[in-house]
Structure 1
Amino acid sequence: MTGPDGLRLTPAPGARIAVIGAAGGIGRATVTALANAGCRVFALDRSDPLSTMSNKWPDAVIPIALDATDPASVDAAFSQISAEVSGLDGLVHLAGFANPRAPVAETDLADWREVVEGNLDSGFLCVRAAIPLLRASPASSVVLAASGLAVKPAPGYGPYAAAKAGLLAFMRVLAAELAPQVRVNAVAPSAVETPFLTGGTGRAERSLGFDRDAYVQSVPLGRMAIAEDIVGPIVFLLGPASGYLTGQTLHVNGGLVMS
């Protein structure tokens, strides 16, 4: 994208953005940032707290119920978006969770499938459903949320690391298939101070057993990430300032992964 908007670090006011996993910590912060930038945001998730966001921005945030692992629910959600707008200028996929840490030898197939379904299958279903709307925009952007564990695995996170690595491969395929009209990139956060550390929003009973103090000592920048640390790169990838980026992964991890 050329011209004065080329340096804009956020999507233009009025941009139509779908946020999958909008009720989570990063999701809510992303919706907030986009609404404050003047975007029209479709906030998709299972969780009731979405209504509080639409109450705050009644003209900007449209909550839509979604089970991102259910093909029928995904199709219904994007049909609802199609009834509201003629196209999408952006999509952010943040849905996902991890189960309690366990070595591969102690991981049963049901847990494996649950994590892969929630992180990888959900991305496939949502992006596939959104492609007609994304192609209806003159220039659109997709941002997928992966993880540093996709490139720097840790013991006990086999299903989650595999699912997020698959999501990065899927991102690159999408970038090749949908260019030049649709850009597709990913962010790969490290651990973030959100409900995800207990397994995901609504999954507090399944703690990951995360050792926060030991983790912080390993981070060159010396602190945990907060949701806003991840939102900045997401919003950048949605906006025109990143208009020559596609098929790329931004590692947002305080220096844990350097390249």
Structure 2
Amino acid sequence: MFASLFLLMVLGLELLGGLLAYAFWKHRRHPPLHRRWWVLGTTACALGYAHTLAYGLALTQPTDLCGQRSLDNDYPLTHVRVDAIPPRLACYWSDSALHGPSHPTAAGTWLMWCGAALLVAGAAAWAVSLDSPMPRWARAGMILAPATSAALWIWQVAPLMSLSTIDLQNECFRWQVAHLHSAPSGELATTKRTVMPPAVECVFADGTVNLISFEAFGLACCLAVFLLCCATPLLRMSTAAAGVPRARPYR
């Protein structure tokens, strides 16, 4: 407990120091907007990664970070999961099937995600600022669509894809409890995982449920937006080659 509070305090001091350094650099150099976001995003990713590793130097002894769920250990620790990319530590307790695992390294992980979002926003701002006949929305979409799909995959799909069979069965049971009135009421028969199209299915005795149906729809939308953005300059070129008067490019 005291170690986690100490590391959070150190993280706060590091963030304060980074913001002061950023303010000094911004005042001296007056950089463009996208470069500011790149600097902020890189700093946030580095601090989040360092904090997560400092918390998980116990990646060698991860069970020491989880501790106990209560003073009398009513819900004992069953197992621990360590992910390298993004670095994350998950503590699974005897009641995690209902309430989910705890994540001692959550602060660093969220900071890294905020930094990644700033980097993507900076890349989109840089693409929009370029002098190009391609519409601005297409330039931004060619960056934002792949970044959004990557975030969906890493944050929502990949964790379920990499679960062990027992953990995935527990996830199916937790989903069934959370959707008690609409979920199939039969017992779990088996589980299925496919990459193309992405699906993590819980096969019950009286029905099948895809745990990532919304995520799969989001990935399909991102792909459609990316293809539309890529096709835009080709459509403009074909229109110009056909001799059709071309409208002024969007700026």
Q: TM-score range by the shorter chain?
A: under 0.3
Higher RCO, Cα 8 Å, sep 6+: 1
Q: Which has the larger radius of gyration?
A: 2
TM-score after normalising by structure 2: 0.26
Taking structure 1 as the reference length, the TM-score comes to 0.25
